Amino acid sequence: MILIISFAPEAREELFEVADYYESESLGLGMSFLAAVDRALEQLTVFPRSSPIARGTARIKALPQFPYSLIYSLRPDQVRVLAVMNQKRRPFYWWGRE
């Protein structure tokens, strides 16, 4: 069974903020970031337990070529993205999101 993807509101906001930042730095880089996120999400829908546990039951999926990770939790029918986390800043700021 392939799982659906959902985003915590804060995670969706982080996703677009990061993409906008990269796009402002270099034309097309924001789209490359979003493509990397899409590839990671596709992998997670097929292999949801393939990433290590970050804290509690939340898992962490690093994005190749970018210093960001997706923090996510598993639900019976979905992968819930809790944060689009910069790997060099406040590692557990997302704790408590659902």
CA-derived radius of gyration, the chain: 13
pLDDT tens-digit series, residues 51-88 = 999 888 899 999 999 999 999 999 988 999 999 999 98
Whether the CA torsion 50, 55, 58, 64 is positive or negative: it is negative
Element (DSSP H or E) covering residue 10: helix 9-25
* pTM (two decimals): 0.90
User: Nearest-CA neighbor of 52 among 64, 42, 37, 62?
Assistant: 62
Cα separation, 32 vs 73, in Å, equals 24
**Cα 46 versus chain centre, distance:** 15
Which domains can be identified in the chain, with CATH numbers? 4-86 (3.30.2310.20)
pLDDT tens per residue across span 8-47: 999 999 999 999 999 999 999 999 999 999 999 999 999 9
**Maximum Cα–Cα distance for the chain, whole Å?**
39
Backbone conformation region of residue 18, classed left if phi is above 0, alpha if psi is from -120 to 50, else beta = alpha
Amino acid at 12: R
